Chain A
């Protein structure tokens, strides 16, 4: 499957990805000026962490969130391998939050759903990578790290 990679040399920690994700994906108005005043506040799905590194859901190979979700709300798209939240059925139990090793699922108590990056699966291309001014984010094929046995 494909994964989103961050070039740490290029990421300047400017938070553009967070801002755009919060506006284009998370807000209802889709306009920055209005989005900042929306209630509940839009939740971006990407976190610029440790000063400068844009972190989103890593779409784990064996995703613990999939095993923890008690009603199949957390799903994997069989075609792309992307893990996503089927928001209408989410019961806000936060069992996925409890096990996500990257801590990138936001338990939104105001919206009563688990919010996380689905790499813009319905748009085809992630907004964060599109707007990054330095081109630090790119989509690449996941490397096969398993030792080959011959």
Chain B
């Protein structure tokens, strides 16, 4: 068996680990057009903040390829893919054949078509090269465009370096795909307390300056600056998929089935590039987050190595970590309205509890958790995550789930009622105790 992996990040490495758990001997060739291998993109803001040096960005040891007997081709781009002849061509002029191929090509940062966007001092934050560019930018004032997770983290990282940062978001709140208005308000206050200026509902219209950027013009003002970070989202890198005629989804990601296989046999896709069934939304979706990339790589790898294992589906999960001083976690959908494919029979509910320092919200569809937001008190967030993943009915347990004393043992009756869905040994053995 000859495996080819395109990409060298979360989904790719996780697939390698799964392939190797079943197949010690076959040849694996891995191609990555980024030269630095094994670094975690999630840590790039920490690099920009000068909190982590390059070696500390790795998520696997430097000898990973050696110990897993992978032949890495770093700095080499796969330039074409032919599903019929099962071959790829690469930027170093070679052709390789494969039995099974994984597209783990991730996403590319969107560069919005704003006049002047090609000036010096403007960068996205996606690759190691981007992070280095931002790290080396000179100046005292920065504007970050787009207040998603990456934008917020970039802003805080620059602030920690002593740079005065302004966060600009065209929608009405910060982190619009992650939090509802109430949670966003708490988060925004924290960001402002760090000395960051936040403008929401305001659009960047153009960049001023000759060669170098000197300001951002919005619908309300001009903000002088020495550098700009663009964080308005990522788009799946599907050139190879398009070339090979693979089916794309409505969101322009590569459609995969439950085994992570694309519309062409023996070609798989995983990670930010893959459009999977979203459990919370009950439709196809791109969930471009690290945990999904890793899980999907895991399932792709097992199936590629011949062990049929069905992916239960994806759902969004975000944690803002220590960046703003209080923990805040969000998963699934933030509002009932954000659910596609709702039928008239679907019944939605939102339950909220707000105290001085904490906020908790659950979104339910037909008694099943499809979204959760936890700010302040987050240790039990994973309980919501497992209930969301398993889609079990919790309609009669709402007060318990909303209680700030919720603990795992409270869930045991729910687990018991749905014992067939909690078949993993870690649940079974607790149910076996007779509790």
Contacts and interface: CB of A to CB of B under 8 A. Distances in A.
Interface of A: 3, 5-8, 47, 49-50, 53, 55, 58-62, 64, 67-72, 89, 91-95, 97-107, 109, 112, 142-145
Interface of B: 10, 14, 40, 42-43, 46, 52, 56-61, 290-291, 294-295, 298, 317-319, 321-322, 325-327, 329, 331, 378-383, 385-386, 406-410, 412, 423-426, 428-430, 432-435
A92 B291 CA distance: 16
A101 B385 contact: yes
A100 B408 CA distance: 10
25 contacts: A8-B435, A50-B409, A58-B426, A58-B429, A67-B295, A67-B298, A68-B290, A68-B317, A70-B42, A70-B290, A71-B56, A72-B59, A72-B60, A91-B46, A92-B321, A94-B321, A97-B381, A98-B291, A100-B382, A102-B426, A103-B408, A106-B379, A107-B327, A107-B378, A109-B322
A93 B42 contact: yes
Given A68-B291, A98-B317, A99-B317, A61 B426 contact: yes
Given A64-B291, A67-B291, 7 more contacts: A55-B409, A92-B321, A97-B378, A98-B385, A99-B291, A102-B408, A143-B429
A64 B381 CA distance: 13
Nearest to A7: B433
Q: Which of A47, A64, A92 has the most CB of B within 10 A?
A: A64
Contacts of B298: 67
B380 A103 contact: yes
A62 to B, nearest CB: 7
Closest 9 CB pairs of A and B: A50-B409, A101-B386, A70-B42, A93-B321, A100-B382, A103-B380, A58-B426, A92-B322, A67-B294
B294 A68 contact: yes
A67 B14 contact: yes
B409 A53 contact: yes
A120 B295 CA distance: 28
A104 B379 CA distance: 7
Contacts of B432: 143
Nearest to B383: A103
Q: Which secondary structure characterizes the binding site on chain A?
A: loop
Nearest to A147: B423
Nearest to A88: B56
Contacts of A144: 425
Contacts of A53: 409, 433, 435
A19 B435 CA distance: 23
B295 to A, nearest CB: 5
B433 A104 contact: no
A64 B52 CA distance: 25
Contacts of B435: 8, 50, 53
A92 B424 CA distance: 28
Nearest to B409: A50
B329 A6 contact: no
Contact of A71 (B58, B319, B424, B430): B58
Contact of B329 (A71, A94, A104, A109): A94
Contacts of B410: 50
A3 B317 contact: no
Nearest to A93: B321
A95 B60 CA distance: 17
A112 B322 CA distance: 8
A116 to B, nearest CB: 11
A8 B433 contact: yes
A77 B413 CA distance: 32
Contacts of A103: 379-383, 406-408
Contacts of B43: 70-71, 91
B312 to A, nearest CB: 11
B379 A105 contact: yes
Nearest to B14: A67
A98 B372 CA distance: 11
B429 A3 contact: yes
B175 to A, nearest CB: 15
A86 to B, nearest CB: 11
B60 A58 contact: no
